[in-house]
Amino acid sequence: MDATISREEFALRFAQSHRRIFGYVRALVPCRADAEEVFQETCVVLWREFPSFRPEADFLPWALAIAFNQVRSYRHRCRRTPALFSDDFLESLEAEQRQMQEEADLRADALGGCLEKLPLPERELLSLYYRQDATAQQVADTTGRPVNTVYKALARIRRTLLQCVERQLARDSRDP
């Protein structure tokens, strides 16, 4: 494959799939920082292996297979820190996660709408937490709130968003 075409092809396919890949990894690696590390490693391998990818094939299953290998590799490295699911459970969870892939884009769309309905202070809190990749303690220090309040606020906002997304998906399925 010509290097330039390969580069553009990869960018295009990766741009279309990276959300699903990250979501997939995130579900299999409970620790957020670790999930991001696995995602980075997955990206590196995807790029490195892309010349072996058949253009007529579906990019996402190929990418998820590589991502799962990276999850396995990460688990192998982190054996001594057992905050992980067992191997057989991970396999079954992986299968269910794959089944969820089809609705990933719908969920992302719904979440975008739900975020816009969120009150500004709550969006600001999410922004501080996710955009800066901060810990709850750092957010607490920045905002002057007790850390427990931050935890509770984040939990409440996530629950609200999840309920909003579910409502939106239910509405969309009724009125496609």
Nearer to other proteins, 61 or 133 (CB): 133
Which of 54, 56, 57, 120 forms a contact with other proteins (CB under 8 A)?
A: 120
From 30, 105, 21, select the one nearest 61 (Cα to Cα). Answer: 21
What are the backbone angles phi and psi of residue 133, rounded to the nearest 5°? 55, 45
Q: Give me the amino acid identity at 155.
A: A
The sign of the torsion formed by the CA atoms of 53, 59, 61, 67 equals: positive
How far apart CA 153 and CA 159 sit, in angstroms, is 10
The neighbour count for residue 64, using CB atoms within 10 Å, is 21
Residues 122-161 that bind other proteins (CB under 8 A): 123-124, 126-127, 130-133, 135-136, 142, 151, 154-155, 158-159, 161
Q: CA angle 42-115-68, nearest 5°? A: 15
170 binds other proteins (CB under 8 A): no
Residues numbered 9 to 68 that lie near other proteins (CB under 8 A) are 10-16, 18-19, 22-23, 25-27, 30-33, 35-37, 39-40, 43-44, 46-48
Q: Please give the helix or strand (H or E) that residue 25 lies within, else none.
A: helix 3-28
Of 49, 58, 91, 105, the one binding other proteins by CB under 8 A: 105
Half-sphere exposure of residue 124: CA atoms within 13 angstroms, side-chain side = 6
Nearer to other proteins, 15 or 57 (CB): 15
Q: Which of residues 71-100 bind other proteins (CB under 8 A)?
A: 81-86, 89, 93, 96-97, 100
Query: Taking CB under 8 A as the rule, does residue 108 contact other proteins?
Result: yes
Nearest approach, Cβ of residue 167 and other proteins (Å): 13
By CB under 8 A, name the one of 69, 162, 170, 173 that touches other proteins: 162
